[in-house]
Structure formats: C-alpha cells, structure tokens
C-alpha cells in the first residue's frame, strides 16, 4: 500500500483508508464485535493505516470498537474521529460549542484507548457557533497535545477559509464519487490553494456503484438508504444507466465496478485518500485491491466522457438533512 500526504502539515496516510461507520451504524444491524475487530485488523494486515470513526456512530460504540481493534498497533495507524452533534446523536441537531468539543475529545481519547487523536473533524458546520471559535478550540487541543490535526466535513469554501485562518486544516472529508462530483467545482481549487487534503466518504456511492443494488433490492429497516431520495425504487432503476457504464469499463479492464470507482477517485488528485466502508472481508479485500488498478490518461478520458453523458437521479439526502 502506498502512502499519501493529507495537507501540507505532515500527516501521511495509506492511499485507501477504512470507513468504520457501517460496522456499528447506518446500514442495518451492527456487526458482531469479534467479526468487526477481525475486519479492522485484516485491513491493517492489508496495508491500511487510516481508520475513520465518529462520536455519532452509535454514540461512541464505533470508536470503542476501533480503539479495541487497534490498541496494539496504535503507533502505526492514524485514527480520525469527529465531533459536532448534540449528545453524539445526529437526530438531535448540531452542537460545536467549545465545551462540547472538549467533552467529545476527552471521551474519544478514552474510547479510542489513546492519548492523542490524530485527526479531529468537525462533523458538520454548526450555524450557531462561528467556525473561527471551533477552529480556536481545536487549536487549543492541539497545543495541549490531545489532538494532532484539524479537519472539517462537508464544509463549504467560505467556512473552510475562515477556519483555516485560525487553525490550518489538514483535511476536508466530504462525499465524492462517480455519482457525486460537486466538490470538483469550488472545493478542489480551494484545497489546492490552501494545502489541504481530501478524504472522500461514500466513494462507492453508498454501495450503488458496485452493481449489487437495483430496484428490487430491499434494505434493512434501519438502513439509512431507505430515506435517501437517490435510493428510491424509481431512482435506483433510473440510475442503472451509470452502473451499466461502469460495468462496461470494469469488464474492459478485467476488474470490478468497486475497483474502477476507487481507482478513479485515487486518480483525480494526489492528495485524495478515500475511505470505503464494508462489513465483509471479501469486499474489504476487493476494495483494497483497487490500489493496483491503473487507469491511463486515455482510460480517464473515456470514463469522463461516459460520466458527463449520464444523468444521476435523486438527491443524496432527504430534505430535512439537505443544506439550505
């Protein structure tokens, strides 16, 4: 596994990381703890050194899982976690007040079984707390040795600039994939100007780009995709056009849809480190093998031609979660 630098401040991570959320939250029943630990440790064995979690993933359960799995390898991995929701629950709304940030940091340190958080993200921008105040609080935590690097998630250009002026950002984490390319327009130029790395979550389109989901797929009752417009039965049917296009490319390259999607993301910028999540070791192995899929300039141009001709149907979040 090759390494990549996130930002200009010294943080180096595996080119493909592991998003750990789905092991505890968001996509149905939580994985059995022993199996989840086995998967995380398998990721490490395969070269992954970048692990992503958050306070809001089952209110700390996911952080505890990650901490337990990686305790013996702590000095060899980068642990990223997030703050920003009331009582660690996204349904309760946002809370990035300084006292809350500090409380989350202290709890995360204990759950992750570490004395320092490598990368501490604001999970979502809180309109009730100036980002300068948020950045200042994290700056203090860095000075105290409790945090190494500051990040934001799903932040816009204006907020990135304001925060960065107080405490330099090392990474921005946002959704990015073949079917959600909005960051390319304004975010990427800003990150390059300021020297900030980019960590795409859902690089496989919440599983849709793998070709394993169609209009007949039934999701578990607690699966977040049940309320996502892009995953309505009708939109899953309409969006098969994109999946079929990716499948055609995958066949030509003798690889899989997932590997094409990840190889494409890696090829976009040298400061990108995607964090696909999974609960299955075979899928983990498949995802990590994407590092060996090389896309030539001609390949990327062909893919671009295909993507630019396809319309993606449906919003990526339900209305109550969409940005105003």
Q: Is-contact 198 11, C-beta < 8 A?
A: no
Compute the distance between CA of residue 16 and CA of residue 30 in angstroms, rounded to an integer. 23
Catalytic residue among 57, 121, 149, 271: 57
Parallel/antiparallel/unpaired status of strands 197-201 and 11-14: unpaired
Q: Tell me the two tokens of residue 190.
A: 């800003």
What are the φ and ψ backbone dihedral angles of 285, each rounded to 5 degrees?
-65, -40
Nearest 5°: the CA angle 182, 188, 192 is 175
Cα–Cα distance, 79 to 230 (Å, whole number): 31
- Whether 57 is catalytic is yes
Within 8 A by CB and 6+ apart from 275, the residues are 16, 17, 18, 19, 50, 52, 173, 199, 200, 201, 203
Report d(CA 132, CA 130) in Å as an integer: 5
Q: Which residues contact 263 (CB under 8 A, 6 or more apart)?
A: 255, 290, 291, 293, 294, 295
Secondary element (H or E) of residue 51: strand 50-52
Beta bridge partners of 169: 150
CB 310 within 8 A of CB 245: yes
Q: Which residues fall within 8 angstroms of residue 184, CB to CB, at 6 or more apart?
A: 268
The structure tokens listed for 127 are 């309109």
Yes or no: say if 51 and 70 are a contact pair by the CB < 8 Å rule.
yes
Q: Which sequence positions are flagged as catalytic? A: 57
């Amino acid at each position: 596994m090759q390494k990549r630098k996130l930002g200009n401040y010294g943080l180096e991570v595996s080119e493909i990381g592991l998003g750990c959320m789905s092991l505890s939250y968001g996509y149905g029943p939580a994985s059995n703890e022993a199996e989840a630990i086995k998967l995380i440790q398998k990721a490490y064995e395969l070269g992954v050194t970048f692990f992503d979690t958050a306070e809001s993933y089952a209110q700390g359960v996911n952080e505890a899982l990650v901490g337990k799995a990686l305790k013996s390898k702590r000095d060899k991995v980068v642990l990223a976690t997030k703050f920003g929701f009331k009582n660690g629950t996204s349904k309760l709304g946002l809370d990035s007040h300084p006292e809350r940030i500090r409380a989350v940091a202290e709890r995360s340190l204990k759950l992750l079984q570490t004395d320092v958080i490598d990368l501490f993200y604001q999970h979502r921008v809180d309109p009730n707390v100036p980002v300068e105040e948020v950045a200042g609080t994290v700056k203090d935590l860095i000075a105290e040795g409790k945090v190494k690097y500051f990040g934001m998630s799903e932040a816009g250009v204006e907020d990135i600039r304001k925060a960065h002026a107080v405490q330099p950002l090392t990474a921005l984490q946002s959704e990015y994939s073949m079917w959600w390319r909005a960051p390319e327009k304004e975010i990427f130029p800003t990150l390059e100007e300021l020297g900030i790395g980019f960590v795409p979550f859902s690089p496989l389109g919440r599983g849709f780009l793998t070709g394993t989901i169609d209009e007949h797929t039934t999701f578990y009752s607690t699966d977040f995709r049940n309320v996502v417009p892009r995953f309505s039965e009708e939109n899953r049917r309409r969006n098969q056009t994109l999946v079929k296009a990716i499948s055609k490319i995958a066949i030509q390259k003798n690889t899989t849809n997932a590997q094409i999607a990840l190889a494409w993301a890696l090829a976009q910028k040298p400061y990108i480190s995607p964090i696909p999540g999974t609960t299955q070791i075979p899928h983990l192995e498949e995802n990590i093998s994407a590092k060996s899929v090389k896309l030539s300039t001609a390949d990327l141009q062909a893919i671009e031609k295909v993507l630019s001709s396809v319309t993606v149907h449906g919003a990526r979040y339900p209305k109550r979660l969409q940005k105003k």
